[in-house]
Amino acid sequence: MEKTPLLGMTLKELQDVCLQLSMPKFAAKQIVQWIYSKHVGSIDEMTNISKANRELLDEKFCVGCVPPIETNKSADGTVKYLFPTESNKFVETVYIPDGDRATLCVSCQVGCKMNCLFCQTGKQGWQGNLSTRDILNQIYMVDRIVAEEGGTPLTNVVYMGQGEPLDNIDNVLKSTEILTADYGWAWSPRRITISTIGLRTSMRRLLEESECHVAVSLHTPIHEQRMQLMPAEKQFAISDIVEMLKEYDWSHQRRLTFEYTMFGGTNDSTLHAKELIKLLQGLDCRVNLIRWHKIPDVPLSEVSMEAMERFRDYLNRRGITTTIRASRGQDIWAACGLLSTRKQLENQNV
């Protein structure tokens, strides 16, 4: 009989498990501490639970943590992991150490429905949502691997890997609940950023049910051009998303960022900068410029650093806080827009 993973369950769900097995209710708090605080790999390691109850639990359940099946390390220290999922598919996760900080870029779907022109993930199509366990397993296992190797512990998680997070809103919000709950990782929501192209209904849920930072994939302020780059613009116009965001208070610690991937000769002109300023006027936010890396069969060009700096300086001088994101892991196809699951494609071709 296939066992049910405990990883990904809330405290209430674990209490229901204990009730189902006629275990004392307080055992749920013990289980949750072993999983989310101590990151154990097996039920047998939960030593303050009686042996009889551990055996009872082990009959139907498992912790559910699954190690990566491949690891690739970049010359710059970035590490890309390939994780199997509950649906027997694969996703990539990227660990980015930077001094005393370390960010983990997690995936939330196998592939992506959005099919943005410039993104490698969209080229593989959409093959399903990750479960809450699949999402948390990436964090759980990298936490353990980094601790074993003496690396920099995770300080931040960004939902910027494969997939559109708000297209899997239930599992994404459940995963962030567990990450921030006192019974879970007990992280501040300020350590978590959720990226999206801006799915309206799910965006409202994100804004009202979570306090995590928000990053909106913008890439061009011009409607017609954004439709060419991002087909979802037809249904979810960036102007409508910005108007919605203006309804919320961004003056406190929660941060709103607009991600702007730059393409040479496409969206790097002064006209684009002026339109961007007009679009974001009155909104407390920042803009993050991202270098695009060439992928096969896409008719876009890489941008020069000089053009990025010129664009950044133009926006900064006019009151839009703008930074250039350092590109990491390009040599192992781990940089922005390069994640795909070649392993999945290999399996399909067998």
Q: Which residues belong to the active site?
A: 92, 336
The residue to which tokens 């806080």 are assigned: 321
The residue to which tokens 């990227």 are assigned: 94
Q: DSSP letters of 92-133?
A: EEEEEEETTEEEEE---EEE-SS--TT-TGGGG-EEEEPPHH
Secondary element (H or E) of residue 213: strand 213-217
* Residue type at 230 in one-letter notation: M
In whole angstroms, what is the distance from residue 205 CA to residue 169 CA?
8
In whole angstroms, what is the distance from residue 4 CA to residue 15 CA?
15
| N- to C-terminal Cα separation, the chain | 28
What is the distance, to the nearest Å, from the Cα of residue 228 to the centroid of all Cα atoms in its chain? 24
Query: Quick count: other Cβ atoms within 10 Å of Cβ 241?
Result: 20
In whole angstroms, what is the distance from residue 181 CA to residue 187 CA?
7
Secondary element (H or E) of residue 96: strand 90-98
The contacts of residue 90 (CB under 8 Å, 6+ apart) are 69, 82, 83, 84, 110, 341, 343, 344
Handedness of CA 333, 123, 191, 309 (dihedral sign): positive
In whole angstroms, what is the distance from residue 96 CA to residue 78 CA?
5
Q: What is the 3-state secondary structure (H, E, C) of 268-288?
A: CCHHHHHHHHHHHCCCCCEEE
Strand partners, 332: none
Burial of 244 (0-12, 13-18, 19+ CB in 10 A): middle
